[in-house]
């Protein structure tokens, strides 16, 4: 026994350890809450602290209505616009295309919004939740397929963004490779900052998009000259209708691979119904509205490319509106590419976690003075699930991150 420190056999008394731990946690809590501190500014308000691990209840925050702008803006961009052109391109008129878009979006968004309700309840990213169903290593197949989907979506988004920016700036001014690289760097930078700033960016884009779409929708009903048979039922175009219906449904359903990534920070007591409602209303309205804008633009300029058709239709409603619509659509394309980068980084971490433990212990993460600016944690000692009698690793269904 050391008379000065009270240490016996190299160990401090239990009471002293607990008191020290309480003091340390209280000090960090005060430092995080102090708005003038670097930790308060950057740790709480700028850089995200978590990746694929469970979000502690003490760090859950946000409002459930924040789900509608992130998914409204997630649908209100040029890629969604292109989906609304399919029915017209195959020979259906505007009426049948509209019915197919509304029905398909309702079906796909239903299942997508149901997945969103898992985020607040489990506090985990969407694809990590597949481990209990597919197994610790079996989920790799799901994650690889999702990663391919992320790559495909971002490649398509970059092509659309390049065409739109060159439409705005002039083909002689905007270089294709430079536009693609700049677009990708901006999207990756927002993704690196993390969850809360992605939500903020989506809200700003949603508000601007709604304002411009309202002006366009009201003006299009009065100003755009459309073909005479636009709103006639006529013969039922079975193939164009079904292709448009399932294209819209599949497009909305494709968000299911990461929809709860953006609700996992919400408190678990918000309720399943409210998280379902706000996700559904945002994704459904954004998807239907933007697809129908694409349908109108294609009906007005059937031989133009998508960016040019949108700009031409907007200019026909109000001078300068087409340019503003196209610019906001590019911003929406930028933020949805950010969501894809963010989801892809979580998927890569999940894949890496199957072979080497990547989750930082909670105590070590809480005691770090400065957060990492990158969306992946520091390495920590490898921890694998226990090996069963058959030689395979097992995973408890109640612990998705093992």
Buried/exposed 309-325: b ≥16 CB within 10 Å, e otherwise: bbbebbebbbeebbebb
**Residue 35 reports pLDDT greater than 70:** no
- φ, ψ (nearest 5 deg) of residue 294: -65, -40
Terminal-residue alpha carbon distance, the chain: 41
pLDDT exceeds 60 at position 192: yes
For helices 195-223 and 272-300, give the axis angle rounded to 10 degrees: 40
267 token code pair: 């408190």
206 closest CA partner among 72, 78, 80: 72
Contact 140, 350 (CB under 8 A): no
Of 222, 209, 245, residue with least CA distance to 98: 245
pTM of the entire structure?
0.75
Picking from 400, 376, 341, 353, the residue whose alpha carbon sits closest to that of residue 149 is: 341
- For residue 237, give both structure tokens: 């175009």
What 3-state DSSP class applies to 209?
helix
Half-sphere exposure of 351 toward its Cβ, with a 13 Å CA cutoff? Answer: 14
Tens digit of each residue's pLDDT (9 = 90 or more) over 133-185: 888 888 888 889 899 999 999 999 998 898 888 888 876 666 678 888 999 99
**Cα–Cα dist 45/197, whole Å:** 8
How high is the pLDDT of residue 21? Answer: 56
Q: Which one, of 300, 262, 240, 251, lies nearest residue 77 by Cα?
A: 251
For residue 343, the Cα-to-chain-centroid distance in whole angstroms is: 7
- Separation of alpha carbons 228 and 355, rounded Å: 62
Taking residue 291's Cβ as centre, other Cβ atoms within 10 Å add up to 31
At residue 393, what are phi and psi to the nearest 5 degrees? -80, 140
CB atoms closer than 10 angstroms to residue 331: 18
60 in Cβ contact with 267 (< 8 Å): yes
**Which H, E and C letters describe 130-183, residue by residue?**
HHHHHCCCCHHHHHHHHHHHHHHHHHHHHHHHHHHHHHHHCCCCCCHHHHHHHH
* Distance (Å, whole) CA 81 – CA 205: 16
Note the pLDDT of residue 339.
93
Could you read off the pLDDT of 43-96 as tens digits, one per residue?
A: 445 677 788 888 888 888 889 999 999 999 999 888 898 899 999 889 888 899
Q: Is 123 left (phi over 0), alpha (psi -120 to 50) or beta?
A: left
Confidence band for 26, pLDDT divided at 50, 70 and 90: low
Q: What is the pLDDT of residues 263-321, one digit of tens each?
A: 999 998 888 999 999 999 999 999 999 999 988 888 888 888 888 889 999 998 889 99
Mean pLDDT over the full length of the chain: 79
Helices (H) and strands (E) counted in the chain, each on its own, are 17, 0
Phi, then psi, of 387 in degrees rounded to 5: -90, 130
Query: 61-356 maps to which CATH number?
Result: 1.10.4160.10
In the block, which residue shows the tokens 């989801």?
343
Burial of 225 (C-beta count, 10 Å sphere; 0-12/13-18/19+): exposed
Which two three-digit tokens encode residue 206? Answer: 């949603």
357 CB contacts (<8 Å, ≥6 apart)? Answer: 380, 381, 382, 383, 384
Name the residue among 53, 74, 59 with its Cα closest to residue 116: 74
> How large is the average pLDDT for residues 353-375?
46
At 393 the three-state DSSP class reads: strand
Average pLDDT of the segment spanning 332-348: 92
């Amino acid at each position: 026994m050391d008379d000065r420190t009270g240490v016996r056999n190299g160990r401090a008394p239990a009471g002293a350890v607990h008191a020290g731990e309480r003091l340390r946690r209280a000090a960090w809590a005060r430092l995080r809450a102090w708005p003038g501190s670097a930790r308060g500014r950057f740790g709480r308000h700028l850089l995200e602290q978590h990746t694929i691990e469970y979000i502690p209840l003490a760090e859950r925050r946000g409002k459930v209505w924040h789900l509608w702008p992130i998914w409204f803006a997630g649908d209100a961009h040029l890629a969604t616009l292109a989906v609304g052109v399919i029915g017209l391109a195959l020979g259906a008129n505007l009426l049948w295309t509209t019915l197919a878009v509304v029905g398909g979006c309702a079906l796909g968004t239903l299942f997508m919004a149901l997945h969103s309700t898992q985020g607040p309840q489990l506090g985990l990213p969407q694809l990590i939740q597949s481990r209990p169903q597919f197994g610790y290593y079996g989920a790799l197949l799901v994650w690889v397929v999702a990663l391919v989907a992320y790559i495909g979506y971002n490649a398509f988004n970059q092509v659309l963004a390049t065409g739109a920016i060159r439409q705005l700036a002039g083909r002689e001014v905007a270089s294709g490779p430079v536009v693609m690289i700049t677009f990708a760097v901006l999207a990756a930078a927002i993704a690196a900052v993390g969850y809360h700033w992605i939500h903020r960016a989506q809200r700003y884009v949603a508000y601007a998009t709604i304002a411009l779409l309202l002006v366009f929708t009201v003006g299009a009903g009065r100003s755009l000259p459309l073909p005479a048979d636009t709103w006639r039922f006529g013969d039922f175009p079975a193939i164009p209708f079904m292709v448009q219906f399932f294209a819209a449904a599949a497009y909305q359903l494709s968000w299911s691979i990461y929809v709860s990534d953006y609700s996992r920070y919400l408190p678990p007591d918000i309720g399943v119904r409210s998280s379902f409602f706000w996700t559904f209303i945002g994704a459904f309205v954004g998807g239907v509205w933007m697809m129908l804008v694409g349908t109108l633009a294609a009906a007005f300029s059937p031989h133009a490319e998508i960016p040019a058709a949108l700009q031409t239709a907007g200019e026909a409603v109000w001078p300068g509106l087409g340019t503003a619509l196209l610019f906001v659509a590019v911003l929406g394309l930028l933020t949805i590419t950010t969501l894809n980068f963010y989801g892809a980084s979580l998927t890569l971490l999940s894949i890496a976690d199957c072979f080497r433990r990547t989750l930082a212990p909670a105590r070590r993460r809480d005691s770090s003075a400065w957060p990492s600016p990158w969306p992946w944690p520091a390495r920590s000692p490898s921890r694998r699930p226990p090996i069963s009698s058959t030689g395979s690793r097992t995973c408890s269904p109640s612990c998705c991150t093992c």
